[in-house]
């Protein structure tokens, strides 16, 4: 299910479960997205004027308020309101772009780099990565106010497909192992998955198991390397 749809207090959600509280400046590329329909998602700053998130977050929203540099959920360094004319949805993948007013970078608000084009065939199997967000901290829990992060290991798509099938786990998906209940559970749809080594954005949070966040099933992300051409075509960003 999509993390943003998990009951806030029984759908796939985007939350961080059994993670740790982020210190200020831990993930300056993470933004909170408060959509006009009343739902919450995460996103990643990928340039001075672009945020990457999930397509299912955008939905039919008229606008979004972007929270920059927040560790306490709504206590951001600043916010920007953005209308849906600045939303770019992917026609057949759960990934989207939001054009934002230019933001200056400093230690609390900064971009995360995309993988380089030369690295586009790296599957990142067994790499460690970090996911951060404000999603619920356990199934059905209210959304936490403080930014949470979890360290997660990327797994082979075949292992992920053994849970969900190859129809769900295509080449555009990257999955992480959920151990000891750690994972992205609801509220963090659209949020970042960033490698420990080199700090590259490799995933955009998409779904967790309908069996519940604590079930131990892998969590799925859009695989950023799969979408490098699409991102470049719309934003001009490439490495």
71 in Cβ contact with 146 (< 8 Å): yes
Catalytic residue among 44, 90, 94, 141: 94
Closest CA to 56 of 92, 16, 10: 92
139 is annotated as an active-site residue: no
Closest CA to 218 of 159, 148, 170: 159
94 is annotated as an active-site residue: yes
Q: What are 100's two structure tokens?
A: 């934002």
Catalytic residue among 141, 189, 217, 227: 189
> Between β-strands 50-53 and 219-223, what pairing exists: parallel, antiparallel or unpaired?
unpaired
Give the separation between CA 13 and CA 105, rounded to whole angstroms. Answer: 30
Q: Which residues contact 22 (CB under 8 A, 6 or more apart)?
A: 71, 132, 146, 147, 148, 149
134 in Cβ contact with 144 (< 8 Å): yes
At 39, is the secondary structure helix, strand, or coil?
Answer: coil
Closest CA to 124 of 185, 193, 55: 193
189 is annotated as an active-site residue: yes
192 in Cβ contact with 204 (< 8 Å): yes
Give the separation between CA 2 and CA 153, rounded to whole angstroms. Answer: 20
Give the separation between CA 67 and CA 34, rounded to whole angstroms. Answer: 8
At 94, is the secondary structure helix, strand, or coil?
Answer: coil
Catalytic residue among 56, 90, 217, 227: 56
Residues labelled as active-site residues = 56, 94, 189
């Amino acid at each position: 299910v999509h993390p943003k749809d998990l009951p806030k207090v029984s759908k796939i959600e985007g939350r961080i479960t059994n993670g740790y509280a982020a210190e200020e400046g831990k993930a300056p590329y993470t933004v909170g997205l408060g959509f006009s329909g009343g739902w919450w998602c995460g996103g990643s700053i990928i340039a001075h004027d672009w945020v990457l998130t999930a397509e299912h977050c955008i939905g039919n929203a008229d606008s979004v308020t972007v929270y920059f540099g927040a560790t306490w959920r709504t206590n951001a360094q600043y916010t920007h309101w953005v209308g849906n004319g600045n939303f770019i949805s992917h026609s057949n993948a759960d990934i989207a772009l939001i054009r934002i007013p230019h933001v200056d970078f400093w230690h609390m608000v900064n971009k995360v780099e995309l993988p380089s084009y030369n690295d586009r065939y790296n599957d990142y199997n067994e790499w460690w990565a970090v996911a951060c967000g404000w999603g619920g901290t356990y199934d059905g829990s209210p959304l936490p106010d403080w930014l949470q992060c979890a360290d997660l290991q990327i797994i082979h798509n075949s292992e992920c497909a053994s849970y969900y099938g190859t129809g769900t786990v295509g080449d555009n998906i990257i999955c992480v192992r959920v151990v000891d209940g750690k994972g992205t559970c609801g509220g963090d749809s659209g949020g970042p998955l960033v490698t420990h080594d080199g700090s590259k954005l490799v995933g955009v949070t998409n779904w967790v198991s309908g069996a519940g966040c604590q079930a131990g099933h892998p969590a799925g992300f859009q695989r950023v390397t799969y979408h490098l051409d699409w991102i470049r075509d719309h934003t001009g960003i490439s490495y």
